[in-house]
Amino acid sequence: MIIEDILQLDEQIAVLHGAAGIGRRVAYIDVVEIPEGMHWTNANDFIITTGYCFASDEALLELLVRTLIRRGCSGLGIKIGRYIDSIPERIARIAEENAFPIIRI
């Protein structure tokens, strides 16, 4: 499976940033809802979060994205509108520069 396959699951799912990476391989889908969870991810994991623990701390959200990129994760799915309304510009730029898909789920 690749990120592009995830986009086909529902018409509400869309790439917000890092669209150049939709060809990334997805070997496993996991959930991260606590900050420590970002350190338990593996290469080719697609990570899903509601963003609850990251919503009030933009620096922590940036650390999540940077950590997932460094660990070789496929991308990040965020339930936009629940706890996080939009992706901050600085984090969007990081995703774009690294072709790291951030997807609205």
In this predicted structure, what is the pLDDT of residue 50? 95
Distance in angstroms (rounded) separating the CA atoms of residues 25 and 50: 22
Would the CA dihedral through 80, 84, 88, 94 be positive or negative? negative
The answer to whether 82 and 50 have CB atoms below 8 angstroms apart is yes
In this predicted structure, what is the pLDDT of residue 88? 96
In this predicted structure, what is the pLDDT of residue 60? 96
Q: CB 7: neighbour CB atoms within 10 A?
A: 16
In this predicted structure, what is the pLDDT of residue 22? 97
Distance in angstroms (rounded) separating the CA atoms of residues 32 and 52: 10
In this predicted structure, what is the pLDDT of residue 49? 97
In this predicted structure, what is the pLDDT of residue 102? 98
pTM: predicted TM-score of the whole model, two decimal places: 0.95
pLDDT by position in tens, the chain (length 105): 999 999 999 999 999 999 999 999 999 999 999 999 999 999 999 999 999 999 989 999 999 999 999 999 999 999 999 899 999 999 999 999 999 999 999
